[in-house]
Amino acid sequence: MFSTLDISTSALVAQRTRVTAIASNIANVSTTHNEAGEAEPFQPRFVVFEADNSIQGPGGAPGVKVASVEISNVEPNWKFQPGHPDAIKQGPRAGYVAYPNVDMTTEFVDALEATRAYEANVGVIEVTKNLTQQSLKIIA
Amino acid sequence: MTRITNFSLPITPATAPAIAPPAMKPQESGGSSFKSMLVDSIQQVNSMQVDANKAVESLFTGGSANPAEVLTAVQKADLAFRTMMQVRNKLVQAYQEVKDIRI
Amino acid sequence: MINQLFESTTIPVLEQVVNFAQTRHSLLAGNLANLDTPGYKVRDLSPQAFESKLKQAISHRHESATNRSLGDITQAVNNPIGQISGELETFLYHDESSGNLETQIAAVSKNQLQHNLALSIMTSQFRLLQTAISERV
């Protein structure tokens, strides 16, 4: 019963996961080494959505789910900082430090989009609840 | 006695002649009697109730019923029952009146 | 005999649904209160298990309806539908997954809608019985 609510809820969960990934990207905008301590710049994460057929509304409308959280593989930003502990010791890039290539503007716009999608789905939930409450007036 | 013919209720054929005094038989029927028409309409009301009950049960045991459909079915059965109740009251009243006729 | 007055309606079924919805609501409220508690396991009453149990009880009731005789008051005690509320504990399960805010709130919403629906239908059934008893439409 009320599978329409399940569809909207799946969207809320998916958008929240997306915002979490964006928040993680922005928080790690200057992270030059990973948890193991190796000099590896942080790679921004992005989420992949897909239609979820296990949550089906009437008429076959699917919900949404996060298929995977992918780690992108972009060229890091190189900055010349010879005194930095994570600077490259030898080779053509000696003295350069690899910073994550996180574009703040893109991340912020994505976060805005995710917020609007979240609000839209909350609006849909309100309408669904309203429909059922109104249909109670058939009886009373 | 005016006949009410513009009802959109499901038991229209039985309602109209039933409100007239029971001594009058309905003009249009040759074969069916007033009694069979009355019994038919009672069975119709009962089957509507049974259908509404089934719809409610299927709604709460995970059936694919629409809440609006179930509520409409319940309300229709409700109204049909009340109409039949009113018809029955009028019949009893008419019988009382006839019984009190002094010869 | 007086109890059989209600057997022909859907009132016993709706009673069980309303009871279940109210119990589930308090459980879900507890989940919401404990969203940030570390190591808290989300608890819920499975509505699917409840629905299948209800289905069984309804078909059982329909089968035994022919055996029921007038004036047999003890039948009400063994009413298969009434037994569901005593077995509510079997539907409880502990979730390994962390309590998602949105899923909990959605569950509360759906539960509320189901509860109100069942209550409205039950009220209208009671009104109908009153109409029949008082003979006043």
User: What's chain C's average pLDDT?
Assistant: 76
SS3 content of chain A, % helix, strand, coil (to 5): 45, 20, 35
CA distance C103 to chain A (A): 6
**Rounded average pLDDT over B66-75:** 92
- At C79, the pLDDT band (50, 70, 90 cuts) reads low
Long-range contact list for C21-29, CB < 8 A, 24+ apart?
Answer: C21/C111, C21/C112, C21/C114, C21/C115, C21/C118, C22/C115, C23/C88, C24/C111, C25/C108, C25/C111, C25/C112, C25/C115, C27/C92, C28/C104, C28/C107, C28/C108, C28/C111, C29/C108
pLDDT tens for A56-112 read 887 788 999 889 999 998 899 898 988 888 888 888 888 888 899 999 999 999 999
CB contact under 8 A, C121 and A5: no
Determine the 3-state secondary structure of C98 from DSSP.
coil
Predicted local confidence at residue A12, as pLDDT: 92
Packing angle of the helix pair C101-134, B67-99 (nearest 10 deg): 10
What are the tokens at B35? 């009694």
Checking ipTM against 0.95, whether it exceeds it is no
CB contact under 8 A, B67 and A135: yes
pLDDT tens for C18-75 read 999 998 898 888 888 887 777 777 777 888 888 888 888 888 877 775 544 333 333 3
Give the nearest partner residue to C51 out of B61, B75, B89, using CB atoms: B61
Amino acid of residue A100 = P
Determine the 3-state secondary structure of C136 from DSSP.
coil
- Give the chain A residue whose CA is nearest to the CA of C104: A9
Separation between Cα atoms, residue C15 and residue C54, nearest integer Å: 11
Amino acid of residue A122 = V
Amino acid of residue A86 = D
Write down the domain spans for chain A. Answer: 3-138
In the predicted structure, residue C11 carries a pLDDT above the cut 70: yes
